[in-house]
């Protein structure tokens, strides 16, 4: 039986239907938290929630588009109505679906990627902030990326994505300062290239092998690695860690 470091905590995890978000949701459930599994794909959310409940955990599947403030607000109200509060928010939504230079990026594409990777975190944080401030406790952790810190010569990234993740890291620092007086910590985790279904759909096998060969540990990050970092930052042991970006990238960025 795992240590119940998050016993009875209420956690919202967005993009929890697969990949890193799914691993985070499962880890929180195993640590004793009640988990709202949020994903734009309701079928995926229900699958993960059913698995958690099948293993004895508590989960709530909530389909929601996290770029929509009305859907986010409704989702948070549902969680609070079910479990009374929100203790932890994990902003896991993000990503991109192709690699192209600036000359091929459309206005719509730019807006969509910025909204998914950055605006979604703002909207979700805003929706839970009042309750956390009233209780004077809370944890907000967002999934950023090394693409938001420095260009990687071995794995060219996508301009709107890198810009959004850089913005997310900056947003986190500013929000950490504003919410600190209320006992709320705000941090980001920046995984290296991670072996998720989305990444495998965007990059071919040769590219992934090349990326793994270039970092000091000669491997890709697994979703579980990022999930463990999030679990720690949301724990009581990390109560004085705020405004930080934790790299989980096998040494790719130092």
What CATH number should be reported for the domain holding residue 236?
Answer: 3.40.50.720
pTM above 0.85, yes or no: yes
Question: d(Cα 9, Cα 57) in Å, to the nearest integer?
Answer: 12
Please tell me the predicted confidence (pLDDT) of residue 168. 98
Tokens of 240: 């004085």
In a domain, 204, yes or no: yes
In a domain, 120, yes or no: yes
Across-strand partners of 142? 91, 188
Please tell me the predicted confidence (pLDDT) of residue 3. 47
In a domain, 145, yes or no: yes
Residue 162 region by backbone torsions, left for phi larger than 0, else alpha for psi between -120 and 50, else beta: alpha
In a domain, 16, yes or no: yes
Query: Angle, nearest 10°, between helix axes 69-83 and 120-135?
Result: 30
In a domain, 149, yes or no: yes
In a domain, 54, yes or no: yes
Structural domain harbouring 182:
10-243
Considering only CA atoms, which of 241, 245, 41 is closest in space to residue 143? 245
Question: What DSSP letter does each residue of the chain carry, written as one string?
Answer: ----TTTT-EEEEETTTSHHHHHHHHHHHHTT-EEEEEESSHHHHHHHHHHHHHTT-EEEEEE--TT-HHHHHHHHHHHHHHHS---EEEE-----S----GGG--HHHHHHHHIIIIIHHHHHHHHHHHHHHHHT-EEEEEE--GGGTS--TTS---HHHHHHHHHHHHHHHHHHHHHGGGTEEEEEEEE-SB--HHHHHHS-HHHHHHHHHHSTT-SPBPHHHHHHHHHHHTSGGGTT--S-EEEESTTS--
Tokens of 96: 């991109």
In a domain, 253, yes or no: no
**Domain tally for the chain?**
1
In a domain, 113, yes or no: yes
Q: What is the mean pLDDT of each run of 10 residues along the chain (254 residues)?
A: 72 96 97 98 98 98 98 98 98 91 95 98 98 98 93 75 97 98 98 68 68 69 90 96 91 69
Catalytic residues: 158
Please tell me the predicted confidence (pLDDT) of residue 195. 62
């Amino acid at each position: 039986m795992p240590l119940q470091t998050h016993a009875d905590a209420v956690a919202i995890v967005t993009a929890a239907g697969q990949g890193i978000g799914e691993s985070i949701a499962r880890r929180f459930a195993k640590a004793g938290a009640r988990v709202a599994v949020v994903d734009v794909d309701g079928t995926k959310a229900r699958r993960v929630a059913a698995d958690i409940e099948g293993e004895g955990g508590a989960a709530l599947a909530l389909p929601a588009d996290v770029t929509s403030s009305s859907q986010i607000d409704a989702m948070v109200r549902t969680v609070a109505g079910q479990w009374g509060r929100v203790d932890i928010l994990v902003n896991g939504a993000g990503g991109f679906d192709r690699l192209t230079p600036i000359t091929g990026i459309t206005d719509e594409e730019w807006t969509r990627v910025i909204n998914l990777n950055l605006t979604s975190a703002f909207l979700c944080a805003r929706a839970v902030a009042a309750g956390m401030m009233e209780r004077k406790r809370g944890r907000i952790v967002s999934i950023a990326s090394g693409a938001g810190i420095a260009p990687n010569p071995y794995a060219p990234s996508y301009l709107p994505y890198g810009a959004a993740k850089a913005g997310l890291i900056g947003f986190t620092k500013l929000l950490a300062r504003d919410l600190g007086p209320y006992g709320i910590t705000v941090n980001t985790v920046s995984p290296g290239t991670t072996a998720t279904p989305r990444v495998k759909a965007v990059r071919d096998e040769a590219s992934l092998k090349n990326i793994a060969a270039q970092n000091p540990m000669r491997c890709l990050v697994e979703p579980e690695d990022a999930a463990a970092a999030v679990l720690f930052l949301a724990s009581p042991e990390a109560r004085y860690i705020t405004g930080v970006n934790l790299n989980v990238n096998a040494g790719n960025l130092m």
